[in-house]
Amino acid sequence: MKKIVFFDVQDYEIEFLKSACREKFKFELVKEPLNDLSVLTEGRKDAEIISCFTTSRVTKTVLERFNNLKLIALRSVGFNHIDTDFCKSHGIYVENTPNYGNMTVAEFAIALLFDVTRKVTNSYNDLQKSVINPHKTIGVEIFGKTIGIVGLGAIGAEMARLANGVGMKILGFDIKEREDLKEKYNVQYTDFETLVKNSDFISLHSPLTKDNYHLFNKEIFDLMKPSAFIINTARGELIDTQALYNTLIDKKIAGAGLDVLESEETLTDPDYLVDIGRMTTQSLQKTVLNNRLLQLDNVIVTPHIAYDTHEAINRILNTTVENILAFDDGKIQNNVY
């Protein structure tokens, strides 16, 4: 009977995982993320399968402590938090849960776009303080405006559907052009710089790779319209946080809606509050910048919740268990490399 350790386990996942694994596997449910060696007790190091969410950081140092690891069953699409080079060289499969949140994340991106352009959260916060200032809440319409979608995979395609539905013009940038998106949603593919220069809104839906780290840096922000907004529900590392902050305070763009940040775990993981020594110099710098972003009136920041709906969670858990059962049956599916 194979042994599985689930990390990052939320209360709403417990009954599902217990029911799915009972009598099939020897398993343990751990609420803490797999960020360091402190959660790797002796009884967990011999697991053949582990499962985690994006709040875990499964580095080479962590992976080296496992004695018999064969599979990492991710409860996410993204896998940049896993050292896949180490896994590949040591025969460890890494399987993700694709397509669970296509509509969910796209809907949240549109919600962020409406929020930051119409100042919904800001006006609500002001009203709670009995402050009503119509001049402060002047927004902009999105109908007839141009949105640039960076990454037109499954989520980006849903974003194109929604944007087309509210009457936006769509520019798209991706390594592969999809004819169906051109026909259905009038997506006009273009090169990256043309998209940046001509978009009123830019929404990021690309996976993080070695090639697009800090895709949006000072030089790219300088190409954007002063009236433009940027929305990121993909990965925080696609944006150079320092460059974004400087761009915003210098009023070179109009605003940002961010569900993801660089070093976001230092804001959302309580362990960093009780053990500040875990932070590197770089993560401390990013944390200071992230806190400064939270103070800006033209920025909306949410704690990486674009995926978070009942429907998406059910799809994540079902696909995770399907991946594990298939692996136990000798089949590999949804491997990321």
What is the pLDDT, as a whole number, of residue 266?
Answer: 81
Domain count, the chain: 2
Instruction: Evaluate whether residue 335 is within a structural domain.
Output: no
Instruction: Evaluate whether residue 336 is within a structural domain.
Output: no
Query: Are both 224 and 321 inside the same structural domain?
Result: no
What pLDDT digit, counting tens, does each position of 7-39 carry?
A: 999 999 999 999 999 989 999 999 999 987 889
Query: Are both 95 and 227 inside the same structural domain?
Result: no
Q: How confident is the model at residue 268 (pLDDT cuts 50, 70, 90)?
A: confident
Active site positions, annotated: 235, 264, 304
Instruction: Evaluate whether residue 34 is within a structural domain.
Output: yes
Contact 109, 233 (CB under 8 A): yes
Instruction: Evaluate whether residue 190 is within a structural domain.
Output: yes
Instruction: Evaluate whether residue 13 is within a structural domain.
Output: yes
CA distance 87 to 192: 32
Query: Are both 189 and 283 inside the same structural domain?
Result: yes
Per-residue DSSP letter, 276: G
Structural domain range at position 323? 3-100+310-328
Closest residue by Cα to residue 62 from 47, 76, 75: 47
What pLDDT digit, counting tens, does each position of 98-135 carry?
A: 999 999 999 999 999 999 999 999 999 999 999 998 98
Query: Are both 77 and 117 inside the same structural domain?
Result: no
Query: Are both 49 and 193 inside the same structural domain?
Result: no
What pLDDT digit, counting tens, does each position of 37-86 carry?
A: 889 999 999 999 999 998 899 999 999 999 999 999 999 988 989 999 99
| Whether pLDDT at 290 is above 70 | yes
For the chain, give the percent of residues with pLDDT over 90: 87
What is the pLDDT, as a whole number, of residue 271?
Answer: 63
Query: Are both 172 and 214 inside the same structural domain?
Result: yes
What is the pLDDT, as a whole number, of residue 279?
Answer: 73
What is the pLDDT, as a whole number, of residue 272?
Answer: 64
Q: What CATH code is carried by the domain that includes residue 237?
A: 3.40.50.720
Query: Are both 208 and 318 inside the same structural domain?
Result: no
Instruction: Evaluate whether residue 128 is within a structural domain.
Output: yes
Q: How confident is the model at residue 270 (pLDDT cuts 50, 70, 90)?
A: low
Query: Are both 136 and 161 inside the same structural domain?
Result: yes
Over residues 205-217, mean pLDDT: 95
What is the pLDDT, as a whole number, of residue 300?
Answer: 97
Instruction: Evaluate whether residue 334 is within a structural domain.
Output: no
Query: Which residues touch 188 (CB under 8 Å, ≥6 apart)?
Result: 169, 170, 171, 172, 182
